Structure 1
Amino acid sequence: MGKVLMLFASMTGNTELMAEIITDVLEAKGYTVETKTFDLDAIDVEELLDYDGVLVGTYSWDDGELPYEVEDFYDELDDVDITGKVIGVFGSGDSFYDSFGGAANLLGDRFEQKGADLVPERLIVDMEPDKDDVVRCQNYAEVFCKMVENTNGD
């Protein structure tokens, strides 16, 4: 089908779990998924251009801020033209804070400013995904796949 880059930052494992659920759907549909984490892998923003679609997940730090390991990536987006690139943003948050899932929304705003073809929903889960959230993640993956297929003419 195509090649997808899955990037994520996860402190407690919640965002990682979301990434795994989404990846399972993509692989079942025949996509090749390369997974990288912000804290362990070197990520060059130019890499985004090598994929049919990109999914970026992050937890929100403190009151909705980007985690430090995502900050450089966020800033380096200035160095790449991602106009029309299909990108999905997801993450976990804690509804205790005023800015629930703020980091995922910051990334989504940034991708929109850069002209990406963003999945309309910014998928944000309160803490650990429950059964309903698992279904939301699966549905999100389906929407992402349709957008990639429409863009790439598959």
Structure 2
Amino acid sequence: MAKIIIIYASLTGNTEEIAELIADGIRQTGSSVDVKCVDDCNAVQLLSYDGYLLGAYTWGDGELPDEFLDFTEEMDEVDLNGSRAAVFGSGDTTYSIYCGAVDVLENKLKECHAVVVQESLKIEYGPSKEEQDACRVFGKNFADACMTVS
């Protein structure tokens, strides 16, 4: 079984809800998962896991929330080459850049040579019933991807 961490930033609670639903899906595979707010983490912790997911809400015009700025800077100082990762987040389609923070995090992971093992999950506001199921499947698929490479 894989050991996974989910690190997120949430302003309204939507991204936190998505993180918890993804964690439910991971647990369904028998893998272990820690769910932590980015304010309580540092990038070095990523090295203690078989895989990690980063989740953020989008701020302003497609920007990463301030809570993630120090964390992404720390990522440059950690060897993430070949590590398994995925990204998720919440956003609002009324803005010109929908879920831009998700794209910023995914690009950062690629810049750090992490392996993004699945397409990012983007959800408008909080997840609907159908999207709640999609979050759980996202978690299951991520855990499966981490177990096949461990």
TM bucket normalised to smaller: over 0.9
The question of whether the paired residues in 2 share the 8 Å contact of 1:58 and 1:92 is answered with yes
Residue of structure 2 equivalent to 1:32: 32
TM-score normalised by structure 1 residue count: 0.93
Deviation above 4 Å: which 4+ runs of structure 1?
none
| Matched residues, number | 150
Distance in 1 of aligned mates of 2:117 and 2:59 = 23
Residue of structure 2 equivalent to 1:16: 16
Distance in 2 of aligned mates of 1:137 and 1:36 = 17
For 2:9, the aligned partner's letter is A
Query: Any stretches of 5+ residues in structure 2 without a counterpart?
Result: none
1:44 is displaced (CA, Å) by: 2.1
The question of whether the paired residues in 2 share the 8 Å contact of 1:14 and 1:92 is answered with yes
What is the root-mean-square deviation in Å for CA atoms of aligned residues? 1.1
Counting aligned pairs with the same residue, the percent is 39
The question of whether the paired residues in 2 share the 8 Å contact of 1:88 and 1:118 is answered with yes
Could you give the per-residue CA deviations for residues 79-128 of structure 1, whole angstroms, max 9, x where no partner exists?
A: 01111111110000011101100001100011011111103311010111
TM-score normalised by structure 2 residue count: 0.95
Distance in 2 of aligned mates of 1:99 and 1:20 = 25
The question of whether the paired residues in 1 share the 8 Å contact of 2:92 and 2:125 is answered with yes
